[in-house]
Amino acid sequence: MDMFCYQCSEALNQKGCTVKGVCGKEPDVANLLDLLIWNLKGISYWAKRARKFHITDTEVDLFVAEGLFTSITNVNFDPESIAEKIERAIEMKKRIRDKLLEKFEEKSGKKYDEDIPEPAKWESKRNLQDWINKGKNIGVFDTKNDDIRSLREFLTYGLKGIAAYADHAYILNETNDDILHFLEDGLESTIDDSLKVDDYVGLIMKTGKYAVEVMDLLDNANTSAYGNPELTQVFTGTVEGPGILVSGHDLLDLKELLEQTENAGVNVYTHGEMLPANAYPKLKKYEHLIGNYGGSWYKQQKEFSDFNGAILMTTNCIQKPLDNYKDRIFTTGLVGWPGVKHIPNRTDGKSKDFTRVIEKAKEMGSLKKREGKNIPIGFGHAQIDEFADKIIEFVKSGKIKRFFVMGGCDGRFKERGYYTELAKKLPRDAVILTAGCAKYRYNMLDFGDIEGIPRVIDAGQCNDSYSLVKTALKLKEAFNLEDINELPISYDIAWYEQKAVTVLLALLYVGVKGIRLGPVLPAFISPNVLDVLIDKFEIKPIGTVEEDLEMMLQGK
């Protein structure tokens, strides 16, 4: 095999990509990312032991989170950029190791004599081809036992999602050392051959706990910086004038771009997971934030081609840029694509400089006016609180019979049409709760409302699934129930990448059972591990729309 990757739902033949990633990853990139993760495990080995001697290094901890985020599907496809991170990983590993060894010898009076695993002691000067070859030999199949391998990968992918959310929060000055330390504990466990199946199951459940905590952290970061999302009607067309299209998840990038384009004669539009930004008071106040253009990430090649302006990718979800817009797309943060212009990170507390993006938008001239409809967004937990009494009343009176949580990810496969058809077939007394780009399968359809309660309640980005969890827990309390599963809520979740794994683990941690997961079950879940999930949490694959709807309406 030239590579092996099965971390997303589009793994080839539901087994794994071995020649080239369905996402567009070349084997060299996949192997370098494997080497980066392997080195993060080595850093984590030393960091975990250093904490026993009260040694911590925030820069090291944050680097581990950043490295994990870099390896999420559709983030970084640039081998040079990834190689720089591997170099940095080796530096960080030496740094935390040396701090520990010095303290150990000082305290014990002897040399450190533990059997050190290879990821913790491996060092190498930069040689791209050597590193690619090394990465090819230390990937997923470095673990031989099928079930242990499955659990280690399940854990790692959950950690990747936590790392992404922690990184977003950190950028807004919200941190939690316990979360960062758990990332290291989890990674270190994947090179500990003394651990058994039950140990990893326990760690995966603990990952769910930290998933809830990190989504709370990011929620606090976003709402503190930009206010609580408000019920907002978002325009989905375009107006005349130069434009910049912003995709991804990073709200601070959008904020700084809005500041730099104010009174510059350039309009700004959101795309994909950036849609919810239009509901934050301190972002929507900018009159040149026109609305949202386009839909889900997998349509970007057509939508970016049709958008005659500059494009800014702030986090994951980038696809291979086509030649007809490659000269007007920019990446920033952890995103990378070979040959695409990159906006450097902030330094010395200053904003990023988006001058090149703004100049490109002006150079491209005016967009054509394009008609669009208005769609409702902004149902974060604070906004839902304002409707809570009415929702509870409607549930008690039978005006709302059932909620359907249809959040998560969107993707290319035609099987995802299931979610559109299911949404269309829901009875008029049903309400959809959603977050993440899965909503693009139905959010442009007209579902109306139930006496003022919209039938599609959009909480925001994938991390805003936290709002849906809080809503469910609030309903549980309102109805004085002991078990969250007694609520009239069915969970029919779409997944694509690792942040969706994190959201799934958060739902399992708060006790949700009976989740339907689609469009396919994860390829990294072995049959025995799947049996555990079925037995413990009643997880099930999606079936047909008709069969699933009938069962869910019966609470099954």
Chosen CATH of 232-364 out of 3.30.1330.60, 3.40.440.10, 2.40.37.10, 3.40.50.2030: 3.40.50.2030
What pLDDT score was predicted for residue 316? 86
Helix, strand or coil for residue 113?
Answer: coil
The CA distance from 289 to 238, in Å, is: 11
What pLDDT score was predicted for residue 349? 87
The three-state (H, E, C) secondary structure of 182-227, written as one string: HHHHHHHHCCCCCCCHHHHHHHHHHHHHHHHHHHHHHHHHHHHHHC
Chosen CATH of 12-224 out of 1.20.1270.20, 3.30.565.10, 3.40.50.970, 3.90.260.10: 1.20.1270.20
The CA distance from 333 to 164, in Å, is: 12
Instruction: For the chain, give the number of residues.
Output: 556
Alpha helices in 234-354 (DSSP H): 251-261, 281-284, 300-306
Burial zone of 42 (CB within 10 Å; 0-12 exposed, 13-18 middle, 19+ buried): buried
Tokens representing 512? Answer: 């949700």
Measured CA distances, 415 to 105, 268, 422, 440 (Å): 59, 33, 12, 14
Q: Are 519 and 415 in contact (CB under 8 A)?
A: yes
- At 307, give phi and psi (nearest 5°): -90, 110
User: Boundaries of CATH 1.20.1270.20 in the chain?
Assistant: 12-224
Please name the fold of domain 387-553: Rossmann fold (3.40.50)
The CA distance from 321 to 308, in Å, is: 14
Q: Are 279 and 230 in contact (CB under 8 A)?
A: yes
β-pairing, 310-313 vs 374-377, is unpaired
Tokens representing 191? Answer: 């090179």
Tokens representing 440? Answer: 């693009």
The CA distance from 249 to 312, in Å, is: 11
Low-confidence ranges of the chain (pLDDT < 70): none
The CA distance from 110 to 270, in Å, is: 58
β-pairing, 310-313 vs 329-332, is parallel
User: Boundaries of CATH 3.40.50.2030 in the chain?
Assistant: 232-364, 387-553
The CA distance from 207 to 497, in Å, is: 16
Give the global pTM.
0.97
